[in-house]
A and B are shown apart, each in its own frame.
Chain A
Amino acid sequence: MTEKDLQPLSYSPAYLDKIKGMRFFDPHVHMTSRTTDDYQAMADAGIVAIIEPSFWLGQPRTGVDTFRDYFSSLIGWERFRSSQFGIKHYCTIGLNSKEANNERLAEAVMEMLPLFIYKEGVVGIGEIGFDDQTAAEEKYYRAQLELAKEAGLPVQIHTPHRDKKKGTQRSMDIAIEHGLDPHMVIVDHNNEETVKEVLDRGFWAAFTIYPFTKMGNERMVAVVKQYGSERIMVNSAADWGISDPLAVPKTAALMHESGIDTNDIHLVTYRNAITAFAQSGQINEADFDTVRDIDQSLKFNGSTVLRGGQQPRVNKNSTIIR
């Protein structure tokens, strides 16, 4: 047996038939913590582009250099790795709420952020906002809103797991207070208890399909049936936890099964995210096609995604490659 034999077979789970030919944009997925197998499966399921927000790596960083390397990887290696699977990779850059509580470090990160927010493919400041809803979190949230305003970039807000309703309201109040147009602000991780107010106030309402802790996709179907498709978007927020990088296509399939109109599915799983984040001036849909003409024999600083003996996956036209 060789490495070639070990390559995952591309097979078509039943749900893929329902969404055949559809394109998806996952505006929130932490690919740093995912494998290349995930990229392959995502491409096969019709995901053509993603946004990777800066986030917490599961344990606190102790120095500014690890932040620098992380930001660099989001606009460097990870973007390259994604391109090797025909997926256009964007990112948002920011100091996450959890680590805003380490003020010494947070100050140093704030100083560094301006070096990263104008890099190619950076489509916003994010994900920022509240976790514990501490004074330090508020301070750096406000500072980053100012940075976003100055840079004319969209803002991607992480709403807290705990005390979500209050945290969501407070995040929006502060954004307004800093003079941000709600149309430039994507409020993430919504649920049934927060969606109405977010939409009523003119913000984008993003939903994370994440098992156990956030939304399930049956609930998502119900939300779209109740609130429609305007300013609503779906993401996976897949990360190092038990999560599913195929959450967006799977949800689209479920919506299809539940009789939701194709155009509404298209809006919440593709178009709305592009409309929102393209306000950065960094998204050109033509790039999605270009990146599909992948060539896995390329290298990034001398490194390739292929491991010894593996055959490069070169895709010119088809979604499924053996």
Chain B
Amino acid sequence: MENAYHYDKEKVEALLWDVIQQQSTDNGLAWLQQRTANWKTTAAVQQFNLTFTAIPRFLSKNEITVSPETATALRHLIDGYTIHGYTLDRLARVWWLLQLPADDRKTYTQTIENLFDAAEMNELVALYGALPLLAWPEAWRLRTAEGIRSNIGIVLQAIMTDNPYPARYLEEPAWNQLVMKAFFTEKPIHQISGLDKRANQPLAATLTDYAHERWAAGRPVHPQLWRLVAPFINDNNWPDIQRIWQSENSIEKEAAALACAMSPYEPAHTLLHQDKALQQEIKDGTLTWDALAPRC
């Protein structure tokens, strides 16, 4: 049989449980254990759903702390996965999702889809954040694309940032929507997992059009946008790079320099040579897209 989980589920589950155990009250923990026992004996989906929705009533919404060891272990088990910044109830919901038997793909996906359909904001955040952990990963592509259509900021952020699922599983058009929408909704672009790896020509062209629209409207353009254009600099978009290079805004000029450094386009290298200081900073690794991010 095909594997339902594409990672070591037992180990991830155990790590998450440790965090929950350490940071819950005795009452909260007792409740969750009682619900788990009940679920294991009844296997009634109604009970599963009930626990999923009830979790915040019994477990706090306080932000959890994650030890560096746990963080590293999780990142190794699922490349790029993190629970940093999670609240306890969100983490418990993710853990609870791992209690759903995944051997029957149809029943499993239907149960999770039903949770999505009836979810409120915080449940959506938990569900979309759990995408990298859900069984049958290929089954969530459409759901993820649907999530990107949401207009709820925290829901979008749960999909877009620190979430390795989209980069790994989304088709190119849906991936491009995610990146574009992240710019539109002003999400922290540098926190999109797999951002550079999935840069592509159509996305670069679209983002360039978007930059033109922003300029026409007299609005600023996010400097990280050029990060996605950089590998595809050509005769058409070269005037745009020159424009930001000449910008009075130093962040824009730095973005132009970074874009030039990333680009195989010859005139870009010639331009970069004109500013030895910036060129050196890039060489030294002191000027990177991530280093630029907090100032964008």
Contact = CB atoms under 8 A, between A and B. Distances in A.
A192 B217 contact: yes
Contact of B145 (A101, A191, A219): A101
A320 B217 CA distance: 36
Contacts, number: 56
Interface string B74-94: 000000000000000000000
- The B contact surface, by secondary structure, is helix
A132 interface: yes
A191 B213 contact: yes
A166 B142 CA distance: 23
Interface in A196-245: 213, 215-216, 219
A132 B145 contact: yes
B46 interface: no
Given A162-B180, A162-B184, A193 B149 contact: no
B216 A192 contact: yes
A194 B218 CA distance: 16
A163 B210 contact: yes
Interface string A58-70: 1110100000000
Interface string A125-140: 0000001111000000
A213 B148 CA distance: 18
Interface size range on B against A: 20 to 34
**Majority secondary structure, A binding face:** loop
Contacts of B149: 60, 98, 101, 131-132
B146 interface: yes
A131 B210 CA distance: 15
B290 to A, nearest CB: 24
Given A58-B151, A162-B184, A191 B173 contact: no
A161 interface: yes
Interface in B204-238: 206, 209-210, 212-213, 216-218
A95 to B, nearest CB: 14
A60 B152 CA distance: 12
A134 B217 contact: no
A275 interface: no
A193 B149 CA distance: 24
25 contacts: A58-B151, A59-B150, A60-B146, A98-B149, A101-B145, A101-B146, A102-B146, A132-B148, A133-B173, A134-B173, A134-B174, A161-B184, A162-B180, A162-B206, A162-B210, A163-B180, A164-B209, A165-B213, A166-B206, A191-B213, A191-B216, A192-B213, A192-B217, A193-B209, A193-B212
Q: Which 4 A-B pairs have the closest CB atoms?
A: A192-B216, A162-B180, A163-B206, A165-B209
Interface of A: 58-60, 62, 98, 101-102, 131-134, 161-166, 191-193, 213, 215-216, 219
